[in-house]
Amino acid sequence: MAAAGDGPWLDDAAGRLVRPFTVSNGRTRPTVPLDLMSQLMATGATPFGYLGPEHAQALELCRAPMPVAEVAAHLKLPAAVTKVLLSDLVDCGALTTKPPAFHDHPTDRALLEAVLDGLRRQL
């Protein structure tokens, strides 16, 4: 079993010992609008007040630009919980965010067909 300060509290047999929404104090809505592909980056500012271990891990992950979905995957938390944690860090000035930049229209038929073709080749 991992120690309390060693990241997410996991047990090999039981899995996560702390329920995901406990990490966000039961909050389900971020204060900052975040998309799964929104890019986040640490500002270098020290967050004020106490932040949990998941906040610290998210901040460390965002030393280089990283999308919300990837942060959630690394933290092994649902995207909704991760968005709340990340919005806490944006609110205190420790992270900056910018919306994803689409060079193509995200629902462009040609793009969707190319993705489908790639998936079919993988199967």
What distance in Å separates the CA atoms of residue 20 and residue 30, rounded to the nearest whole number? 15
Please give the mean pLDDT across all residues of the chain.
Answer: 79
What distance in Å separates the CA atoms of residue 87 and residue 96, rounded to the nearest whole number? 10
Task: Return the pLDDT at 25.
Answer: 66
**Per-residue pLDDT tens for 6-57?**
444 555 554 545 555 556 666 768 889 998 889 999 999 888 777 888 899 9
Task: Return the pLDDT at 102.
Answer: 63
**Per-residue pLDDT tens for 57-113?**
999 999 999 999 999 999 988 888 899 999 999 998 999 998 876 655 666 788 788
Any residues with CB less than 8 A from the CB of 45 and at least 6 apart, and which?
A: 92, 93, 94
